[in-house]
Each structure stands twice: as C-alpha cells, then as structure tokens.
Copies of this chain bind each other. A is one copy, B any other.
C-alpha cells in the first residue's frame, strides 16, 4: 500500500502586517492560512507524500480560499467538512531584533471548534491512510474536539495506523474546564510517536526533568534522557519520542536542537544557530513533517535530517 498521511486539526486564516510593520502601522495584512497540523500536511505534500487534511470550514468564500490554499500544495481537501459560523483567525505581528512577535488569536466559535463527534465517520475517513497525525492543540479547544480526537485515535489504532502526536501545549487554550493532564494521557497512550519540548512533557504529561532551567537554552542530554525514558515507561506504546529545544536569542536569532529517542537509542542533534529569521512561525511543524517523512521513507534512524529549516515553507 502506498503511504498516505491524514492530519487532523484546525486551520486558521493568518493575517499579518507586511514586512516587519507593527499592528499600529499596518494598512494591509498579508493573507495566508496556517495551523500546526495543516503546516505538517503542506510540508509532507511538498515532500511528495499524499496527505488528507481533515478539518471543518465555513461554507463561504473565506472557507473556499482556505481550501484553495491547501489544494495548491496538493493536499487532498475532499474530506474537509463544510459548515459552522466562521474560520478561526490569528493576527501575527512579526518580531524583529529585540521586539518579539505578537499573536492575537480570534479563534473561538470556529467551525471546527463547534464540530460534533457524530460529524466525523473515522472508519471512512481513515480507510485509505497508514499514518494519522494530530496535536495537543486540538483537544485543548473543546470537550467535543477532545472526544473527536479520542474517536480518531481509537479507530486508527484498531486499523493498525501509525499515530503521531505533537504535544504542543498552549497555555492560552484549555479554557473549557479541563486540564491537559485530564485529557492528554488517554490520547497519548495509543500513539506511536510523540514530539514535544520539555514544557510539553511537564505540562501535558506531568514528566519533569530534575534541575532543568529551560531559559538558559542549554541542552543537557542526560536530563532529557530521563524525560524520554519516563515517557516511554508511562506510555509503553510509544516507539519514538523527539524533544526539540528552541532558544530565542532575539526575534531574528533563534537556536535549535533536538534529541530523538528511537528503539531505545538516544540521538542528539548538533546545536544550530538560525539567524536573519524571515518568518518564525511553523518551525516546529516543519520538524515534525521532516520526522514523519523520514520514518515513511527510510524506516530507520536518520539523525542528520533532524533540522528542517525555519524559513517559510
């Protein structure tokens, strides 16, 4: 069977002042669409992997434009549901130098956030795929979406589909009365691959490395070894875990490194300096897409390709 990935999640309208203008200076917004899972889908499609994207979009011209956006990159949009009130929006002011980027979310009441479990027939949706990708953003949005994720994971598991999850803890979400620790463990336990950073492990799964100081931006492999081993102990279904570490020297200069725990072996990437950043958003998603691509194509460890660049995909 040919590889086919299905990614599930929200995709939002992204509006950002051109160049490095501020919200207070903008008289136009650059328009694109994005979201963690959709970014992974687009990257995989660019790499040549067939991808379905599953989400729910309103039945209007902006929903159409979003579908057109995905289609141009070859992502299959036939499984997207139409309906609901609106597409989620985020406003992004690109940072530069000492001024950090700023994101304003206007995603409440989006078509996908109001979706109901009975709208998704996962048996059908997952029929022709062998990889299912989701992230911790989705169950953070609403109880319904947490339930829909669970449905999807259970069906995927029953079909022997590989399941990957980017833990992606977002403190601004999780507003519907549940904590990540109430919801995520049940979702993660059937996954094959987990990707996260130390904060994700701590906030989402309750696994904390001893004596770590994230803010220093210095990677201490021993401490992360502890974290990934704890994760695999707690979630024995996991075959692979990747921990990424992005340091932010300035909005224009980040550092990047990752460790990969695969088949009980630990791989540590070099430490990269990424300067002159044009568009920071989606860097982690590119990493995930590269990881999935690697597993689908090489079926082996491939440490050298860990870093997918942060530049606009």
Give me the interface of A with B, judged by CB distance under 8 Å. 15, 18-32, 60-62, 64-65, 68-69, 71-74, 85-87, 89, 91, 93, 96-99, 102, 104, 106, 108-109, 250-253, 274-278, 309-312
Residues of B within 8 A of A69 (CB): 72
Q: In the bound complex, what is the Cα–Cα distance between A93 and B20 (angstroms)?
A: 17
The copy count of this chain in the complex is 6
Assess the B61–A309 pair: CB atoms within 8 A.
Answer: no
Residues of B within 8 A of A87 (CB): 106
Residues of B within 8 A of A15 (CB): 15, 29
CB distance from A307 to the nearest CB of B (A): 8
Tell me the nearest residue of chain B to A308, going by C-beta: B98
Residues of B within 8 A of A68 (CB): 24, 72-73
With A106-B86, A108-B86, A312-B25: A97-B274 Cβ-Cβ less than 8 Å: yes
Neighbour of A109 across the interface among B28, B64, B104, B108, CB < 8 A: B108
Assess the A312–B21 pair: CB atoms within 8 A.
Answer: yes
CB distance from A50 to the nearest CB of B (A): 12
Assess the B89–A108 pair: CB atoms within 8 A.
Answer: no
Question: Shortest 6 CB-CB distances between A and B: which pairs?
Answer: A252-B276, A72-B72, A23-B61, A68-B72, A99-B311, A97-B276
With A253-B275, A275-B252, A278-B97: A28-B29 Cβ-Cβ less than 8 Å: yes
Assess the A276–B28 pair: CB atoms within 8 A.
Answer: no
A68-B72, A71-B73 are known contacts; what are 20 more A-B pairs with Cβ within 8 Å? A21-B312, A23-B62, A23-B64, A23-B65, A24-B61, A27-B30, A61-B102, A61-B104, A62-B91, A68-B73, A69-B72, A71-B72, A96-B311, A98-B274, A98-B309, A98-B311, A99-B309, A252-B275, A252-B276, A275-B276
